Structure 1
Amino acid sequence: MRLNLRESLLYLVTRLLARGDRRARTMADYQPENVQRILLVSSTALGDTVLSTAAMVAVREHFPAAHITALIHRDYVPLFEPTDFLDGIIAYYGGYSHFFSTFLALRRIHPDIALILHGNEPQATPLAYLAGARFIFKLPNTSRFAFLLSNQAPRLSWLDMGHGMMQRLKVAQLVGARIEGARMHLPIPNPTREIVTRWLAEHDVMAADIVIGLQAGASSRGRMWPVAHFVALAKMLLAVHPAYRFVITGAPHERLRCEEIARGIGAGAIVAAGALSIEMLPALVHRCAVLVTGDTGTLHVAVAVGTPTVSLFAVSGPDVSGPAYDLERHIVIHHPAPAGVRSKTDNDRWMAQIPSDEVAAAVTQQLSQFAQQATACPERSSGGSS
C-alpha cells in the first residue's frame, strides 16, 4: 500500500510538472548537435548493465565531446569505474531508497537528454525527468510514465525488442547512434588482472593450468543448475583430465552454495564467491578456458571478455538473454520448461532436467577448441589480453 501511495504521488507530481512544462520535448524537436550532457540509466542487475555497455559505447561514439553520466546500481559501480566511455557514475540504491539524494545528484548534472537503457520503474523515468532532461528516450514505451518520454509513438512492447542487448541498442538508435556491429565492453585493468593471478596462485592455480568456471548462483533458483549436477559434471571431466581446476563463482550471499559444490568436487575446486570483489570478475572469467552458467550476469561478462561458455536455459529463453554475439564461441543447452512457468520461479526442477553428461560433452567440445586456440595463441591460456 505504501509503495502504491508513493507511485501515485510520483505520478501526480510528474503529471503536474509535465503539464506546465513549456519546453518542446518531442522527437521532432530533438537536435543532436545541441547535446552536451547525457544521462544513461542502467540501474538493474549485473547482466542487464553489462548488456547496456554496447549501447553506452554507441552513444559515446555518436557524442564524442559530450559529458556522459550513468546511473548504475550501487553494487556494480566499481565494475564500470575504469571505463573510458563514461565520464561519471551515480549510484542507484534500488526502489525509493535514497530517492531524494539520487534526484539531487542527477539534478546537478542537468542532462540535455536521458536514455533509459534498462531501469526499474516507476522510478527510472520520473528520475530522468526530475533531473531536468528535456528529451527522454526509452523502449519499451508502454508504462504509465510514457507521457514523459520523447518517443511516445509508435508504442512498442517487450515482444518487439528481441534480444536484451538489441533492446538497449534500439534506445541508442533513437538519438542517432550507429548500432551496427555493436559489442559489449568491460575493461580488464592490469592491476585487477594481477590480483586475480596472485589469488589463483595462492590456491595453487598456475598459468599453465586449465581453469573451468562454474557459475553457481543466479537471480532465482529456477535459473540455477542443481549443486549435485555441478559436482557430477566436474567428476566426469576430472575422470578424463585429473589436472583440471574449477573456480566456482557467485555473489557473496551464494558462498555457502558455492562451498557445497567445491566440497563435492574435492581438491581441484576453489570458491571465488565472497573472496574477490565485483571488479575482479572480468579478469577472473577471462582466465577461464570455459564458463558453465545458467541465465546470469556472469554469462554476459564472459561474452563481453571473450570467454567461451556453455549456458543452460530452462525457464528463460536464450533468444532474449543468451549470448548476444560470437555465437560460434558459445554453446547453449536449452530444455524449455512447460508454457506458463515463470522465469523467476524458485523451483529448480526444470534446470534439473538438463543432464550432467550433456553438459560435459559440451564443455569437452569447448575445451578442445580452447586447446587449439592456446596452441596458436599461448597468451589466451595464461589470461592474456582480451
Structure 2
Amino acid sequence: MRINFYEIFVNLLIKNKKPARKLKQLPIDEIENILVYSNTAIGDTLFNTPVLKALKEKYPLKKVIIILNPINYILFKNNPYIDEIILYDGKWKSFFSTLSQLKKIGRIDLTLILHSNEPQATPLALLSNSKYILKIPNKSKFSIYHNNDEIGPYHDRHGIFDRIRVLEYLNIKDVNPRMELYIEKENNDEIEDFFLKNNINKDKDFLIGFQIGASTISRMWFEERWIELGKKLLNSGKDVKIIITGSPSENKLTTKVFNSLNDERVFNLAGKFNLISAAALIGMLDVFITPDTGPLHIAASLKVPTVTLFAAAKWYVSNPCFDQDIHLYVQKDRTCEPCVGKNCKFQECMLQISADEVFDKVCTLSKLK
C-alpha cells in the first residue's frame, strides 16, 4: 500500500480543528466573501452554474470566488456571476500552493464545496480558515467540519438538485436548474470562418454532431453503430452534414468512423479547436448525439437539441432536467450486475442500443422523415 505523506501531514494539521456547529440558516449579513469549490469535470462544473447565478442574483454585493480545474476553466472565465477565479487540479502536489493563494484572499466567510475531491477539499477549506463550510452530499468522515447536517445524495433526481440544496442555508429558494455557458464572439467567429472555408452553411445544412468518445468505456457506444447511424443520416435525403466532435485524445477513435463513412459531408473536428471554440462549435449544431459525457452538458447549456445514449447510467441523473422536449434519450438496462463502472473493459449493455432507435430520435427532433 502506497503511503501518501501529503495526506498524513494534512491530517495532522487538521487534527485539532473543532467540529462545526450545525445550522439550519447561515447569518448571511456576516458574509461578504463566498468561496465556491467546483474543480472537477466539465459537466459537474456546469451543474453548478445555476447555483452561481442564484447566489449572485440574490446577493449581488457578495464577492464570489471560485476554484476551477485548470483543464476546463476557460469555459467559465466569462461567467458574469463569478468575481474571481483560482485554479486547482485537486491533487495533493498542488494542495499547499493553492492554500497559499487562498490565504492571500484574507477573510473567507463561507465556503461552498459544490463539487471537489476529498480528502483534499474539506481540509483545504479548514486550513484556509473559512468561517462556515457547506457541502451536500457530505456523508464522509469530513461531515463533522461542515455547518450543515450529514446529507446523502439524491438517487432519483438530476445531479443539479444536489448542488441547489446548499442554497437553502442561505435563504435562496425556487432556483432555476438551467445551466448556462457564455461564449465569446471571437470563438463563434472562428467557427463561422471555418464553416465558410469548408462550404458548411449553418442556415441551409442540417448539422448533426457525433460525440463518439466519453470519459469511460462503459458510457461509449460502439464505432460500428456510429458508422451505421451516419450512413442512415447521410442517406436521409436531406442536407445533412455530420460534425464529429471530441478531444485530441479521441482523434484515433473519430478517425476510424470518419474514414469508414468516407463522405465529403462528414467532418472530423476532434481536437481541431481549443475547448471554448469547440463549445462554440457544438452551439452551432442542430442536433447533438452523444453518450453521457461533458459535451452533452455543453450542448444543453447552449440550448442545442440532444439525443443521449444511456445504459450503465440512468437518464434522470444527468440528462438535462430542463427543455426536456428537445433533450431526448435512449435508455437500456445494465447487463452486468454489479456494474463495474469505470473499470469496464467491454460495454456490453451499450450493444442494446440500435442505430435505428437513435435515428428515430433524431427524426423526432429534425423531422427528417
Distance 1:136 1:206 in 2: 50
Listed as ranges, the matches of 1:237-316 within 5 Å are 237-241=233-237, 243-266=239-262, 267-316=264-313
Distance 1:307 1:316 in 2: 22
| Pairing partner for 1:76 from 72, 75, 81 | 72
* Letter paired with 1:261: V
**Corresponding residue for residue 355 of structure 2:** 356
| Pairing partner for 2:321 from 307, 324, 347 | 324
CA contact (8 A) 1:331 1:362 kept: yes
**Corresponding residue for residue 338 of structure 2:** 340
1:115 to 2:112 alignment: yes
Query: RMSD in angstroms over aligned alpha carbons?
Result: 2.0
Distance 2:114 2:340 in 1: 23
Distance 2:97 2:110 in 1: 20
Distance 1:341 1:239 in 2: 37
1:187 to 2:185 alignment: no
| Pairing partner for 1:142 from 134, 139, 143 | 139
Q: CA deviation at 1:233?
A: 0.4
Q: CA deviation at 1:6?
A: 3.5
Superposed structure 1 runs of 4+ greater than 6 Å apart? none
3-state SS, counterpart of residue 208 of structure 2: strand
Distance 1:161 1:177 in 2: 22
* Letter paired with 1:360: F
3-state SS, counterpart of residue 240 of structure 1: coil
Distance 2:93 2:319 in 1: 31
Distance 1:106 1:2 in 2: 29
* Letter paired with 1:366: L
Deviations 1:258-285 (A, max 9, x none): 1212112222221222111111233211
CA contact (8 A) 1:223 1:315 kept: yes
CA contact (8 A) 1:71 1:89 kept: yes
* Letter paired with 2:364: Q
Q: CA deviation at 1:241?
A: 2.6
**Corresponding residue for residue 132 of structure 1:** 129
Distance 2:102 2:83 in 1: 14
Deviations 1:74-127 (A, max 9, x none): 111111111100011111223213111111112222421011111111111111
Query: 5+ residue gaps in structure 2?
Result: none
Deviates more, 1:119-128 or 1:202-211: 202-211
Q: CA deviation at 1:242?
A: 5.7
1:211 to 2:207 alignment: yes
Q: CA deviation at 1:342?
A: 2.9
Deviations 1:351-384 (A, max 9, x none): 1221111101111111129x9xxxxxxxxxxxxx
* Letter paired with 1:134: K
Q: CA deviation at 1:72?
A: 1.0
| Pairing partner for 2:219 from 191, 210, 223 | 223
**Corresponding residue for residue 366 of structure 1:** 365
Distance 1:253 1:174 in 2: 41
3-state SS, counterpart of residue 274 of structure 1: coil
Distance 1:200 1:111 in 2: 46
3-state SS, counterpart of residue 111 of structure 2: strand
**Corresponding residue for residue 33 of structure 1:** 29
By percentage of residues, which structure has more helix? 1
Q: CA deviation at 1:237?
A: 0.9
CA 1:160–1:358: 2 relative to 1, 3 Å: closer
> Given the two structures, how large is their TM-score scaled by the length of structure 2?
0.93
Distance 2:201 2:345 in 1: 38
| Pairing partner for 2:43 from 34, 44, 47 | 47
Query: 5+ residue gaps in structure 1?
Result: 372-386
| Count of residue correspondences | 364
3-state SS, counterpart of residue 331 of structure 1: strand
**Corresponding residue for residue 380 of structure 1:** none
Distance 1:29 1:296 in 2: 35
CA contact (8 A) 2:50 2:176 kept: no
CA contact (8 A) 1:95 1:123 kept: yes
3-state SS, counterpart of residue 348 of structure 2: coil
Deviations 1:157-214 (A, max 9, x none): 2246731111111122322223432311101222111111112223321232211011
| Pairing partner for 1:166 from 161, 183, 192 | 161
**Corresponding residue for residue 10 of structure 1:** 10
